[in-house]
Amino acid sequence: GFGGYLTMSDKTATAPSSGASGKDTSGGGSSAKKVGLIGLVGIVISAMIGGGIYNLPQNMAQDASAGAIIIAWIVTGIGIWFIANTFRILSAARPELTNGLYAYAEKGFGKLAGFFVAYGYWICNCFALVAYSVLVMATLNYFVPDFSGGNNIPSIIGGSIITWIMYLLALRGAQQTSFLNIIGTIGKLVPVLIFILAVATIFKFSVFMEGFWGMKDHIALTLNWDNVMPQVQSTMLVTLWLFLGIEGAVVVSGKAKSQTAVRKATTIGFLVTLALYVVVSLLPLGVYTQAEIGSMANPSMAAIMLKSFGSWGEIMVNAGVIISVLSSWLVWMLMLGEMPLAASQSGIFPKPFVKENKHGAPSTSLLWTTIVIQVVLIASYFIGSNAWTTMISITSVMALPCYLFCTLFLFKIALDKKGYPSGIFASRGMALFTGAAGSLYGLWLIYAAGLNYLMIACIVYAIGIPLYIVGVRQHDKTTKLFKNYEKIVVGVVIALGIAGVVYSVLNFGHF
């Protein structure tokens, strides 16, 4: 799963304040049917649970034992909750900031910070769609052999065809995605629930405890932090990827029956999703060893079902993956086009991104989104067998600044005794603690990401700087491009980008 619901509300939120015609705001007015608690919970769960859950057993067991996975989920659960709570508090404390995640960054830290968040969120979700392509083609390999790994030449061709079909469908301004969304949600949840029930029947506690900390020749419950913490660290980008979209209910709060329902939905959706992830990642370790699961082909949930229950289980999971990802793909494509549009309306992306076609679809934005996806898709061919892991890791690293700026912004406004609003559900103390804890978690994730993916992220962010210069100049030729401290930031980003290119060339093949 990754956070696409953010961009769903961008157009309705930004259109009035940016002088747009408002033709695309239908459904967001007072006459629209308000979303209740159950609907909001559905949005949160659907936003987070995507194709990633089908690969979860292998992704977690690849470098982590059962004990390390449990610690990882505890760390992730607490950390992600602080990020979720950040969005809950900010929606109440700064309800006027409706221009997406980057509005918080821009308001708190300037226009350049706003650009980096808008650009980073847009590009990271392009990488996420390439991860979807890898997963779909690898899954299709079960039905039509030739798509081995999901990123060989036939897979790149197949993924490219799907990408451009999604672009053409998105150009139609396909607003009627609710039916596809329902099909996709059922398609993704039914196989997961059947998997959990089936594997639970053959779970053995003795197998689960064998190698609990991932160390041979050790008593199962002997804990060695020097061995276990690197295992925990190895799972961090996987777990972050799975929770991208936690902001779902908060982002559509304008269409909710009440703010109380939004807060409850965020809590319930988070807890339900966390429980599903924990169970799916841990149950198989009571059937097979960590080494066996870690070496399985993805989607590993299908491999486990085949090994344990025969071909019917494998067919069910593979069909579920394809239905789920294809239905989500179109929805994310539709939403992803909105981010550059909203950023252009705010004056930080080039003017052409504002263009909409007769269907109200952001045509220029969608075209460039598709081109970026196509370029990354071709690049995925050269990654080799780790294409899926690489794509979700880059997605997670690129998303980190987006979340970090939000938690830092909350911390900043909570420091202001007079400026922090009274009468909202969160006290200033809670806001201060949430912002600080969320920021520390974000910084820990940056550390946990490892140098390889951080270097790639630096390259991608450096490439985006000309886009910012062109955007600001097109909207206002008289404005000063960079403040003094921003010049230093730009210099650092460019230097890191160059260092990233050198590092990546020298370490090619080690990702």
Domain boundaries, given as residue ranges, for the chain: 5-506
- Model confidence band, residue 337 (pLDDT cutoffs 50, 70, 90): confident
pLDDT for the residue 119: 92
Mean pLDDT of 333-341: 79
Supply the pLDDT for residue 100: 62
Give Cα 245 distance to the centre of its chain: 6
Rounded to an integer, what is the distance from CA 478 to the centroid of its chain? 37
Mind listing the pLDDT tens digit for each residue in 101-137? 778 888 889 889 999 998 998 898 899 899 999 989 9
Cross-strand bridge partners of residue 35: 256
Three-state SS sequence of 160-195: HHHHHHHHHHHHCCCCCCHHHHHHHHHHHHHHHHHH
d(CA 262, CA 252): 9
Please report the sign of the dihedral spanned by the C-alpha atoms of residue 272, residue 273, residue 278, residue 283.
positive
Tell whether domain 5-506 is in CATH 3.40.50.720.
no
At 43 the pLDDT is 72
Q: Which residue has the higher pLDDT, 224 or 67?
A: 67
Structure confidence at residue 18 as a pLDDT band (50, 70, 90)? very low
Rg, Å, the chain Cα set:
22
Ramachandran area for residue 310 (φ above 0: left; ψ -120 to 50: alpha; else beta): left
Q: Tell me how far apart the alpha carbons of residues 74 and 222 are, in angstroms, rounded to a whole number.
A: 19
pLDDT in tens, 184-213: 677 778 889 999 999 999 999 988 888 787
- pLDDT, average across residues 418-446: 90
| Span 154-162, average pLDDT | 93
Q: Is 416 helix (H, G, I), strand (E, B) or coil?
A: coil
Cβ-based burial of 429 (10 A; exposed 0-12, middle 13-18, buried ≥19): exposed
- At 254, the pLDDT band (50, 70, 90 cuts) reads low
pLDDT at residue 394 is higher than 90: no
Q: Is the pLDDT of residue 16 over 60?
A: no
Query: What contacts 39, CB < 8 A, 6 or more positions away?
Result: none
Q: Residue 323: is its pLDDT beyond 90?
A: no
Q: What is the 3-state secondary structure (H, E, C) of 36-105?
A: CHHHHHHHHHHHHCCCHHHHHHHHHHCCCCHHHHHHHHHHHHHHHHHHHHHHHHHHHHCCCCCCCHHHHH
* pLDDT band at residue 145 under the 50/70/90 scheme: confident
Q: How far apart are CA 238 and CA 257, in angstroms?
A: 33
Q: What is the mean pLDDT of the chain?
A: 81
Q: What is the pLDDT of residue 5?
A: 36
pLDDT band per the 50, 70, 90 thresholds, residue 495: very high
CB atoms within 10 A of CB 223: 13
Per-residue model confidence as pLDDT tens digits over 261-289 = 777 888 888 898 899 999 999 999 999 98
pLDDT band at 29 (very low <50, low <70, confident <90, very high): very low
CB 471 within 8 A of CB 350: yes
Q: Taking residues 143-159, what's their average pLDDT?
A: 87
Running DSSP on this structure, what letter comes out for residue 256? B
Q: What is the mean pLDDT of residues 462-488?
A: 88
pLDDT at position 239 over 60: yes
Task: Report residue 12's pLDDT band, with 50, 70 and 90 as the boundaries.
Answer: very low
3-state secondary structure labels for all residues of 97-132 = CCCCHHHHHHHHHCHHHHHHHHHHHHHHHHHHHHHH
Task: Check pLDDT > 50 for residue 7.
Answer: no
